[in-house]
Amino acid sequence: MTIPPLAWFKSSYSTDGGQCVEVAANLVASHGMVPVRDSKIQSGPVLALPASSFSAFVAKIKAGDFPV
């Protein structure tokens, strides 16, 4: 299986405060996963989440299910 280079991006809601994660959504269609990494440690570990789990997580955030 060949995996294309990851196209990392941060949310447009991110600021320069450094508390961000980056995702690479270019593997959703071909591999069904969303890689996630810490934007401060770009050479660090990558967590590959199933696309359905990542979508459920984002939906819970948008619904306010995680207290701040």
What pLDDT, in 10s, does the model give residues 13-30?
777 666 788 999 888 888
**Is 56 inside any structural domain?**
yes
Phi, psi angles (nearest 5°) of residue 44? -80, -165
Residue 5 placed within a domain: no
Query: Which pLDDT tens digit goes with each residue over 29-59?
Result: 888 999 999 988 889 999 999 999 999 999 9
Domain membership flag for residue 11: no
In which domain, by residue range, is 31 found? 21-68
Write down the pLDDT at residue 29. 85
- Answer yes or no: is 66 within a domain: yes
Q: How many domains does the chain have?
A: 1
Task: Give every CB contact of residue 48 below 8 A, 6+ residues apart in sequence.
Answer: 33, 34, 35, 36
pLDDT range class, residue 1, cuts 50, 70, 90: low
**Is 47 contained in some domain?**
yes
Q: Would 14 be classed as within a structural domain?
A: no
